[in-house]
Structure 1
Amino acid sequence: MAGGPVANAAGEASAYTHLIDRTPWWKNRRLILLNAWITLFLITSSTNGYDGSMINGLQSLGQWNAAFNYPSGSQLGLLSAIQNIGSLCAYPFAPYLADGIGRRNTIGVGAVFMVAATFIQTASQNVKMFIGARWLIGFGLTFAATGSPLLITELAYPSHRGQATSLYNSLWLFGSIIAAWTTFGTFNIPSSWSWRVPSAIQGLPSVIQIVLIWFAPESPRWLVSKGREQEALKTLAYYHANGDYKHPLVEYEFEEIKAAIALDREVENSVGWLTLFKTPGNRRRVRIIVALAFFSQWSGNGLASYYLNKVLNAIGITDPTTQLLINGILSIWNFCVCVIASLLCDKVGRRGLFLVSTFGMLVFWTLQTVCFSLYSEHGNAAAGHTFIAMIFIYYAFSYNLFLDDLAYSPLIVTYTVEILPYSLRSKGFTLFNFTISLSLIFNQYVNPIALQALGWKYYIVYIAWLAFECVFIFLFVLETKNRTLEETAALFDGDESVARIAHPAAEMAEAPKDHEVRVDDEKGSTSAVDSVKI
């Protein structure tokens, strides 16, 4: 079959574009089922998003503060940061688990850890027990959060991949909404159940995953890497072509994946963590991945993500009901804007959204700083109210792995996963998550201390940092839309690497087939299926 034009470093055309079925996905029952499975993977992010908003809300609950002796300063920082410390402890194992037992099973392992942890968290009798449970949540989350984006990216229908992967971080905000309104709803419970109920609900997404994940499809790329090519072909045909094993798109995807995995095997013994830094292309990838990870947490967003009540106290809004209401409304606002941005990522492009987002953050963070200073120095009530409006507008541009809207939340996972080749995808994504955890731990310890010591002047630090982010994004972030995962390598490694992957797919039409593929039943079971000779 003719593969079509292969994208190069400068071009926009993709080899599979003309093979895509343009029928709306909701009219194709196989794509409906595929997207239902992807939704199951997406809710991993909801557990993480739930945590950030829950901790924010619990700080406004008198019952929670009384139960743990009114934590403040470094102890409050530890309560917020301990989940990410748990995540750090799991990072050495997560990529090997994802590559060894598969993306799907890795999600299941992480979900089991998180269910156990939320049970301990709900039953906590003292602050040490609560901290230990949050550490275990972070430990399990690392496994689930490593497997989920990889499986989404490697399983999604080609024209849906960018949007589906972008929705992963957007679902952080769905969890944030549930947590914000749960803590608002339990605020008036006159017992410890005011904080135990939100703690218990945090495990719900993981319970759903434990029940269903074992029936979900596995990544075709992982299956091919383990020599299970017929299972990979079956998965591609069943979900991408209504069971048609001879569909041109399925043949193209299958041969492209096999060629890419074959190239990876040529250097398999030399692929390790240092491989991320050995070639110019990989160093460019790492530079962008690490930068985006830090930007996602060091853009001022951490102040409202984990310490919104401290910020609101600083501008005179001290009523717990009002604080919880603002937290809940902000979560809904962020989610709506973030989902819209996720669905636009293939139309506007990654680079365009990153640029608009970063420059928008700089402008509206500066306005927040001005309002904060006017209230702090002169007691200007109007400036305090305007500051709240600026928070909402800022988050329409900003990024937080958890509370970003326009670019960073929907795009950083998408962009990180798609610029990495298969052999480095799990390791590179682990490096990305490791960097985020480091930046979060720093933020969660430093922000409450610095805010208390410097007040509004602390906001000036982030103005300077956001200006640096704008320059970096403009100089180094490349556009990757409308390319397959394999074709994206051209942007970093040059056209030759993509030509080597595309060559087998392009010659597939002339290659003799050993047997015809027969679909024996509607579920897509096969007989006498042999691979195409290359």
Structure 2
Amino acid sequence: MGVPGAVSSAGVSSSIQSLLAERDTRWYRGHIGKLNGIIFFVLIMSMTNGYDGSMMNGLTALDNWRTFFKNPQNKPTLFGVYNAIQSIGTICGLPFAPYASDYLGRRGAIFLACTIMIIASGLQAGAQNVAMFIASRFLIGFGVSFGNISAPVLVSELAYPTHRGPLTSLYNSMWFLGSIVAAWTTFGTFRIQSTWSWRIPSAIQGLPSVIQFGMIYFIPESPRWLIAHGKDEAAIAFLRKYHCGGDENDPLALFEYEEIKRNIEHEKEASAQSSWKALFTEKANLRRIRIIIAISFFSQWSGNGLVSYYLAVVLEGIGITSQNHKTLINGVLQIWNWFWAILGALNVERVGRRFLFLASTGGMCICFCLWTACSAVYAKSSHDFDPACVAKNKGDTSKCVAKDANRQAGHAVVAFIFLFNAFYAVAMSPLVVSYCVEILPFRVRSKGVMVKSMTISAALVFNQYVNPIALAKIHWKYYIVFCAFLAFEFVYCFFFVMETRGPNGPLPLEEIAAIFEGPAHFGFQKRPEMPGARADDEAVDADADSIRKEKENTDAEFIERK
């Protein structure tokens, strides 16, 4: 296999650029601004996941939560279950999620997800014992599975052509908005001397779902889903209203409709027997699924799980034991992460996906190695604990600072945690969802996203269950595992991750398939009749003919280069 970058540099058909030339495509103007405002309410689905990790970081630092649930942090196996149970719930829901997305529609699946998560958040806030708390978190994960399949797909299928990459990348970046709300909520409530110190954050986890539940009526259905289900008129109405400002004669609506219609028909013919079979047997899909599974594991096994769910334990390992300091660091870290995630999302079309993946994995590897080295220095200098502190905490030295501890090494660990998270957030947060969505063809898009979510959830369960046990047994030495795995990630991304940015700008979802399947995927057939089109609109037909000719010329160049 050649260098992946060489594949993308050849380019694919980019005729849409001629239709977008000289248009005002600023994200906040007119019909485009209205569409992006609507898409924002789809993006916040990701907040629930981000809220959970940060909330659990905050709760495990709260004495009231620890006392109510009988100090689960001292029982590594049970402690892992508290965090892993949501991912287990997600795994249980994922087999049903693609069917909900494909048959109920993207909106219908989101509505179902919100309903489940609102009920589950209420049960979590009212938990009276360990079993009720764990069960409610399982139910939250079950609901999340439906939202995580449908929401990013809906964003990618609604977005204006030039905004699809950044908006889909922003989906997973909203994870950090949820984590910010959770971190600062627990920072504020830890002072409450009752169970409300953890019940309030638990209840607020349902807030994004409440907002989406109320706004679902105003969110349009995917035009691709509508066309696939024979509702062409509704799809055309959406394209004209939100992509063309209501202009019925705008050739952009014709171009998008024709390309979506043709691509869906092509995929129906190619995968008439079984789309699940096509996902794992067709050569192009196997290349897609190999990359999707790899980056899904990378997004969870890069060492970020230590910070996402066990930051309190990591900080205690370098002598930071104060509730105030732990919750404050958690809050500041989430704002820092969100900044870098947004920066990465907004620059996917400028610098490309491949560059971001390589910069992210390389930077994380360097930072984690330095983080590990500083942790080792701190650990080797920390031996003599204050007997009074040890006695007060019944032998638990995690709340005591050694007299001879190398505080500079401990502070350096905090610095490298921030730098590591910056490199992680700039690519892994925005691209783990958007890249997977855009490389999948329509017929297997929901199912491919389900494989991504299943892989992430499986990796999370392993991380959330194993991390506390490994940290308790071998402490900082556990970090060495992540140093080695991060080096592997960089090598894998260098050889296998392909660029999906076009040579002249963003590509439609239908055209990205050429990177994996070749330009034959776009052999133009007779243009489908456009519902509601004026029969005598010669100008539109002329524009379409011009576009087809330009496509044929560009495809010929593509074959020649290959």
Give 1:294's match in structure 2, choosing from 281, 294, 297.
297
Q: Deviations over 1:217-243 (max 9, x none)?
A: 100000000000010000011000011
* Aligned-partner Cα distance in 1 for 2:135–2:287: 38
**What secondary structure, in the 3-state scheme, does the structure 1 residue paired with 2:299 have?**
helix
Task: Give the letter for the 1:55 counterpart.
Answer: M
The residue number in structure 1 matching 2:316 is 313
The correspondence of residues 420-435 of structure 1 with structure 2, limited to 5 A, is 420-435=440-455
Q: Deviations over 1:159-209 (max 9, x none)?
A: 000000000000000000000000000010011100010011111110111
* Aligned-partner Cα distance in 1 for 2:272–2:282: 16
Q: Deviations over 1:433-478 (max 9, x none)?
A: 0000000000001111111111111111111111111110000000
* Aligned-partner Cα distance in 1 for 2:79–2:473: 16
Q: Quick check: 1:372–1:456 contact (8 Å CA) kept in 2?
A: yes
The residue number in structure 1 matching 2:508 is 484
Q: Deviations over 1:401-422 (max 9, x none)?
A: xxxx110101111100000000
The residue number in structure 2 matching 1:380 is 406
* Aligned-partner Cα distance in 1 for 2:200–2:150: 28
Q: Quick check: 2:375–2:413 contact (8 Å CA) kept in 1?
A: yes
The residue number in structure 1 matching 2:62 is 61
* TM-score, scaled to structure 2: 0.87
Shift of 1:24: 4.6
The residue number in structure 2 matching 1:14 is 14
Q: Quick check: 1:9–1:490 contact (8 Å CA) kept in 2?
A: no
Evaluate the alpha carbon distance shift between residue 516 and residue 40 of structure 1 in structure 2; reply closer, same or farther with a 3 A threshold: farther
The residue number in structure 2 matching 1:456 is 476
* Aligned-partner Cα distance in 2 for 1:23–1:179: 38
The residue number in structure 1 matching 2:154 is 151
The correspondence of residues 319-398 of structure 1 with structure 2, limited to 5 A, is 319-378=322-381, 379-398=405-424
* TM-score, scaled to structure 1: 0.91
**What secondary structure, in the 3-state scheme, does the structure 1 residue paired with 2:509 have?**
coil
Q: Quick check: 1:309–1:323 contact (8 Å CA) kept in 2?
A: yes
The residue number in structure 2 matching 1:304 is 307
Task: Give the letter for the 2:334 counterpart.
Answer: S
The residue number in structure 2 matching 1:249 is 252
* Aligned-partner Cα distance in 1 for 2:206–2:364: 33
Task: Give the letter for the 1:452 counterpart.
Answer: A
* Aligned-partner Cα distance in 1 for 2:118–2:322: 33
* Aligned-partner Cα distance in 1 for 2:340–2:18: 31
**Sequence identity, in percent?**
49
* Aligned-partner Cα distance in 2 for 1:412–1:351: 12
Q: Quick check: 1:9–1:494 contact (8 Å CA) kept in 2?
A: no
Task: Give the letter for the 1:314 counterpart.
Answer: G
Shift of 1:12: 5.9
* 111-120 vs 32-41, greater mean Cα deviation: 32-41
Matched length: 504
Query: What's the C-alpha RMSD, in Å, of the aligned pairs?
Result: 2.1
Evaluate the alpha carbon distance shift between residue 396 and residue 13 of structure 1 in structure 2; reply closer, same or farther with a 3 A threshold: farther
The residue number in structure 1 matching 2:102 is 99
Q: Deviations over 1:334-378 (max 9, x none)?
A: 001111111001100000100101100111111101100000112
Q: Quick check: 2:310–2:468 contact (8 Å CA) kept in 1?
A: yes
* Aligned-partner Cα distance in 2 for 1:242–1:148: 24
Evaluate the alpha carbon distance shift between residue 22 and residue 514 of structure 1 in structure 2; reply closer, same or farther with a 3 A threshold: closer
Q: Quick check: 1:8–1:487 contact (8 Å CA) kept in 2?
A: no
Task: Give the letter for the 1:440 counterpart.
Answer: L
Q: Quick check: 1:168–1:413 contact (8 Å CA) kept in 2?
A: yes
Task: Give the letter for the 1:428 counterpart.
Answer: G
Evaluate the alpha carbon distance shift between residue 188 and residue 476 of structure 1 in structure 2; reply closer, same or farther with a 3 A threshold: same
Runs of 5+ unmatched residues, structure 1: 1-6, 399-404, 518-531
Q: Quick check: 1:60–1:309 contact (8 Å CA) kept in 2?
A: yes
* Aligned-partner Cα distance in 2 for 1:256–1:59: 51
The residue number in structure 2 matching 1:520 is none
* Aligned-partner Cα distance in 1 for 2:497–2:23: 30
* Aligned-partner Cα distance in 1 for 2:225–2:196: 44
1:445 aligns with 2:448: no
* Aligned-partner Cα distance in 2 for 1:269–1:139: 30
Task: Give the letter for the 1:327 counterpart.
Answer: N
Shift of 1:8: 8.0
Give 1:417's match in structure 2, choosing from 437, 441, 449.
437
Q: Quick check: 1:180–1:331 contact (8 Å CA) kept in 2?
A: yes
Shift of 1:264: 2.0
